Amino acid sequence: EVQLVESGGGLVQPGGSLRLSCAASGFTFSSYSMNWVRQAPGKGLEWVSYISSSSSTIYYADSVKGRFTISRDNAKNSLYLQMNSLRAEDTAVYYCARLMAVAGGFDYWGQGTLVTVSS
């Protein structure tokens, strides 16, 4: 069974940093591209970042470019999101999601981890 489990969320002050993790199991993690998607409280979905299976290609939404860094460790079946210079508008539930095929859609999602940026 495919499982994605996020961790690392919490309360952080504006300007602070946080590192999210996503532990994958039930599939060959190294064969799939992965993404982070976030959802602010009561709002819609926002794609945040993409990383290819080998980490050779990475993309970011303009809203996080220069502040967030996506990475992965295929040996540990894990995906990460390093978030620096956090702002109140980064408050959201962060989901990791698997890209099923090239431009096919996100077929598996984690349960999400809440990040709250507040003083």
Partner 1 sequence: DIQLTQSPSFLSASVGDRVTITCRASQGISSYLAWYQQKPGKAPKLLIYAASTLQSGVPSRFSGSGSGTEFTLTISSLQPEDFATYYCQQLNSYPRAWTFGQGTKVEIK
Tokens of 107: 């077929």
Q: Among residue numbers 65 through 104, which ones bind partner 1 (CB under 8 A)?
A: 95, 100, 103-104
CB of 65 to partner 1, least distance (A): 10
Q: How far is residue 14's CA from residue 6's CA, in Å, rounded to a whole number?
A: 22
Report which DSSP code applies to 83: E
Q: How far is residue 103's CA from residue 113's CA, in Å, rounded to a whole number?
A: 25
Q: Per-residue string for binding with partner 1, 28-67, x by CB under 8 A?
A: -------x-x------xxxx--x--------x-xx-----
Tokens of 19: 């590192």
> Between residues 78 and 109, which has the closer beta carbon with respect to partner 1?
109
Q: How far is residue 50's CA from residue 70's CA, in Å, rounded to a whole number?
A: 7
List contacts with partner 1 (CB under 8 A): 35, 37, 44-47, 50, 59, 61-62, 95, 100, 103-107, 109-112
